[in-house]
Structure 1
């Protein structure tokens, strides 16, 4: 009698216990799902920037390092999100990435970050610095959900390998074995190495790098600079004298000079030589491309962009920056124009020094101007015009925040900063920013990253 009475009660308790176990298991699975946030991605971008500063990559090479990892991450997320379109067959030579084998356990956001980190590691010198960053994250993710982590890691590395194979065909390795730039000392219009380090011209063969979107390195070839002439009535000499006069005017203001502050804010010279007595050393900074990557982070955070929106912004901007460097360097070593410092010291004032240290490559057109024009166009296409922001990118280097009402306003300031710095003539900055904006417009029109039938925020 007692056993028959207790049997329903025992059965009820069993089902209650089973239900509780199932609920706990479900909650546990939800709790253990690995969450990848926009801040995780910002941290990965910041880490490669930090390593690039340490390793001292030139501005063109740095732009390549930013582009490929972002593209890999974007391609993985585009596989999951119908609102975004793959860049396969849009970027020169890029084919569709492989499909994931384990679609049950994969976390596409995690796979995207794994691919980003892996390609970062392949592209820099100090691999151990990326490995420490990677391993600490791997340990955390594996402890949260081993099955999901392994499936996602395997796919991320598979895509990274696919992108790396494509990347290795962009002629970069071939340019490493090409001859150094040969200086023509007999032609007074041609670029000469400048003090204090008198470095050789960097990346003279960068126009041979395969572009991402533009048809060729010369597609946005600017008009030539004013013809070289030291006649005082010539346009060239007037521009040379303008650099000298502006420099003297703004430095006479001392610490109150807004123009000097602008020049220093946009300096972005990854290697500034400092000489003290018999000792020469370098102070390290970010490149101009890295500055605009920092602005991309600022805009993404301000708009509270989702992970896929954040990766989209980094990818589009880094592609524009990379193609801008290819376009600009194509012109630099075509026109091969001498820097203001060389001519001013020789013909006007042998004790004159520019506000900024002259970088080691020809003058025309201005790299900052071309890159800033292209980056501003890319960012405006994503976040809109009249996007006000506070730029704290240079705070880490001891410089105050500067505020802008739009990306184009920031680009204009970046361009004119090179004249204030005494390292560019007016033509280089004014024509350069037009060159960059034309290139940026082309990339915006040609790249289809947002699915027009979706509700994705552009």
Structure 2
């Protein structure tokens, strides 16, 4: 009888053991390309929530910093971003004697931070719950599971505490943009005449930059309505470019539109079309490249965090100049002084003209990605396929960035100086961030 009892106990132990077996290969396969996928899912929420480009960049940055800090312990050569990012002084580390599965730590940290920064919390929570269920189904040691989830949640809490002090909430109490009679000053544009978006974004704490105005690109050409003036000449260039646009230029303009919320009016009915933001477009380019390279989880997190921070600082820098110069858009100027019936190809965004956000963000992103993947990294950009546009091929990140920049002239929403100075501004921001974060 005792022998039978021993056999039954042994069988139960074996069954329990099999049920909690740590399936390393299965888990590794499951998390391969995980961060790219999670960023895409986060993008879906960002697009549906209609976040503005600057706000979207902030969400990507904090979420991916959390992901990196959660997985970096899997590679002893990787350093924390603590002390490299402004005011990030301390983060928790793994407890001695406990075992963790760091891809799971990273995923939990990413999703908890992302969930706290969007409106549709339930959507992100559903993504996280599905991930945790699948991880358990694959097979993971219970203690490792609990340690990893707890550590990821702790890191997320600390990242969110850091984020809460960046001025994001405080900016909402600041005065709205004031429209004046100054003809050279920005004013709301057709068709919706929306009020200015994020006029105080330069009060947000930068991630790496020393200040929002550190890489100020300089003022635009002085406003002038005289036909022999430089400013009039720049406006005419926009006017004539749009009027003579060829099919290839039209494709470029539409591909890089990236306006998160375009309005359409049919009769008395208005509806809105949501799209990916400029920063989100570049995050997707990186996600695609990482998948094609079959990058390991640590490399992927390092890349996405570095790129996210770079783009976020690019928007802070760009928005600082936008509301310093507060320059009127081509649509307003051309309608008032050249052709009252003229319309741009793209819908004019609701913020001042100088400098071009696409130019700054794209050149900053290209600077970062070129540093990580090389000067002549050819790729096919399929980011816009879900939004009904075909993929485009590029021979380098810089070729893509330059096309994104000039697309704003083709679209009729920027003068040339905003594009050219914006590219230089973004390159300076990107170079500074890379140097600071990649230095040993």
Same topology, TM > 0.5: yes
Q: State how far apart, in whole Å, the 2-side matches of 1:421 and 1:28 are.
A: 57
**Per the alignment, in what secondary structure is the counterpart of residue 447 of structure 1?**
helix
Provide the residue aligned with 1:175 in structure 2: 171
Computing the radius of gyration from Cα coordinates, the structure with the larger value is 1
Of 158, 162, 187, 1:166 maps to: 162
Provide the residue aligned with 1:293 in structure 2: 283
- The alignment status of 1:153 with 2:149, answered yes or no, reads yes
Provide the residue aligned with 2:4 in structure 1: none
**Per the alignment, in what secondary structure is the counterpart of residue 280 of structure 1?**
strand
- The alignment status of 1:111 with 2:105, answered yes or no, reads yes
- The alignment status of 1:34 with 2:27, answered yes or no, reads yes
Q: 1:32 to 1:224 in 2, by over 3 A?
A: closer
Contact conserved, 2:33 with 2:290, CA < 8 A, in 1?
no
Contact conserved, 1:298 with 1:389, CA < 8 A, in 2?
no
- The alignment status of 1:378 with 2:368, answered yes or no, reads yes
Q: State how far apart, in whole Å, the 2-side matches of 1:375 and 1:67 are.
A: 13
- The alignment status of 1:339 with 2:317, answered yes or no, reads no
Give, in angstroms, the shift of residue 102 of structure 1. 6.6
- The alignment status of 1:307 with 2:297, answered yes or no, reads yes
Contact conserved, 2:360 with 2:426, CA < 8 A, in 1?
yes
Q: 1:408 to 1:328 in 2, by over 3 A?
A: same
Give, in angstroms, the shift of residue 79 of structure 1. 2.9
Of 266, 276, 290, 1:276 maps to: 266
Deviates more, 1:337-346 or 1:37-46: 37-46
**Per the alignment, in what secondary structure is the counterpart of residue 393 of structure 2?**
strand
Give, in angstroms, the shift of residue 287 of structure 1. 0.3
Q: State how far apart, in whole Å, the 2-side matches of 1:292 and 1:393 are.
A: 9
Provide the residue aligned with 1:7 in structure 2: none
Q: State how far apart, in whole Å, the 2-side matches of 1:26 and 1:157 are.
A: 25
Q: State how far apart, in whole Å, the 2-side matches of 1:202 and 1:288 are.
A: 15
Of 201, 209, 224, 2:204 maps to: 209
Contact conserved, 1:34 with 1:110, CA < 8 A, in 2?
no
Provide the residue aligned with 2:218 in structure 1: 223
**Per the alignment, in what secondary structure is the counterpart of residue 390 of structure 1?**
strand
Q: State how far apart, in whole Å, the 1-side matches of 2:19 and 2:264 are.
A: 61
Contact conserved, 2:36 with 2:288, CA < 8 A, in 1?
no
Query: Once the two structures are superposed, what CA deviation does each residue of 1:76-114 show, in whole Å capped at 9, x if it has no partner?
Result: 222331221111001000023112237533111110110
Unaligned runs of 5+ in 1: 1-13, 452-458
Q: State how far apart, in whole Å, the 2-side matches of 1:103 and 1:200 are.
A: 55
Provide the residue aligned with 1:430 in structure 2: 420
Contact conserved, 1:220 with 1:327, CA < 8 A, in 2?
yes
Contact conserved, 1:38 with 1:310, CA < 8 A, in 2?
no
Provide the residue aligned with 1:352 in structure 2: 342
Q: 1:31 to 1:107 in 2, by over 3 A?
A: closer
- The alignment status of 1:78 with 2:68, answered yes or no, reads no
Q: State how far apart, in whole Å, the 2-side matches of 1:57 and 1:66 are.
A: 12
Of 412, 415, 424, 2:405 maps to: 415
TM-score (norm 1): 0.90
Contact conserved, 1:370 with 1:436, CA < 8 A, in 2?
yes
Q: State how far apart, in whole Å, the 2-side matches of 1:61 and 1:31 are.
A: 37
**Per the alignment, in what secondary structure is the counterpart of residue 54 of structure 1?**
helix
Query: Once the two structures are superposed, what CA deviation does each residue of 1:108-157 show, in whole Å capped at 9, x if it has no partner?
Result: 11101100011110000011111111111122223422332211100000
**Per the alignment, in what secondary structure is the counterpart of residue 172 of structure 1?**
coil
TM-score (norm 2): 0.93
Unaligned runs of 5+ in 2: 1-6
Q: State how far apart, in whole Å, the 2-side matches of 1:227 and 1:180 are.
A: 25
Q: State how far apart, in whole Å, the 1-side matches of 2:21 and 2:110 are.
A: 29
Q: 1:147 to 1:353 in 2, by over 3 A?
A: same
Query: Once the two structures are superposed, what CA deviation does each residue of 1:209-247 show, in whole Å capped at 9, x if it has no partner?
Result: 000111000000112111111111211110000000010
Give, in angstroms, the shift of residue 28 of structure 1. 4.2
Query: Once the two structures are superposed, what CA deviation does each residue of 1:171-197 show, in whole Å capped at 9, x if it has no partner?
Result: 00101222211111x111000100010
